[in-house]
Structure 1
């Protein structure tokens, strides 16, 4: 990683005089900060640069892992990339958009999983175009079952199973909670309760989907349920928070 840092400095220092490169504390890749934004309004442009060595077997590579004693992990990032690109094509970009939403879910719920675990699980269940809400439903249902059965295997069958950031029981619980809220959102939307649907989806993606006041819709639902002789209980209760309703979770 230090050799990579020196080579990048040699190649780019003249073009980018504010270039800085971080190695210390980095687990797998060196972090390159160009000190020069490429998009208006951004402070900087950064890149992660991975170094690797061919594995003696001819399958996969050794990639850095500074958090373990051996300092290297065996992986097959080339095959991983090919699999992800195929999934993006097969789903007409739904795969990539779903992964992006799931990364938001992961970050706002204490990061129970690493991003590669999310992608690996998506590879096992998303293989055709569909609305994003359905892709989320399929993922959380599939991921909860898979994590309940054990660690996620490497899709390329080269590296060890993918570790979790929390106990398997806790990750499974969070996946099930997200699955239940997605199911509830779809149920509400199908029944013509868009504010209730939005409120349920807000629990999963609070930074992306504004909360909505579903008080009137919920009152009408409960009244209708009681009139037809059903129960007024719900599996996931609704709280209220007044914002301007925004439908932000369709295709």
Structure 2
């Protein structure tokens, strides 16, 4: 029998490796698109304006960035590593609290199911409503609004996952067939997500002149980074709790 401390350490270690590999994915697939977006912004900033007499005036080049691009690239790996460790710790806590309620054949299935639910609620639902934009795109004055609405979408995404699971279990009480339970869960999830999307405001600050191909390459790279992180987190934690390495009996430590 392993204690909560053992489960937590496993989550932190798995999260660290998942974060490092997700950072590698982001560096390879996302950084080139960020460089292209910055180049477009710099080109626009270097454009000339005209005074009342039609004379060309160079635009203000702006201030130098506080952190160089090399520093930002290093920060990418640091950020994904820290995020992976934090997420691994939270994942371990959630696994400990919910393991006996997940009704899965084994511990590894519970880890995979929890990772899938977290990915859908925390990543996929917010992404479909508010897909990320490159650093050079967006109005700085609306960053607070965008942050608040994104966090609301994240909370509603988790609520939608909970609604789907609750509806599926409620249907099971009546001895429903598996496909009916799946349909009830999917319907409850979709209804919650659609209602959230209709309530939350639409935010689109991408200029019409910005290349659509570059925009979606960046967004897909961002989604791929999150997918890599959650996939490795689920698979790694499932391997750490596999019966072949000894069945894990999670227990909650009393306060």
TM over 0.5: no
TM-score, normalised relative to structure 2: 0.26
More helix by share: 2
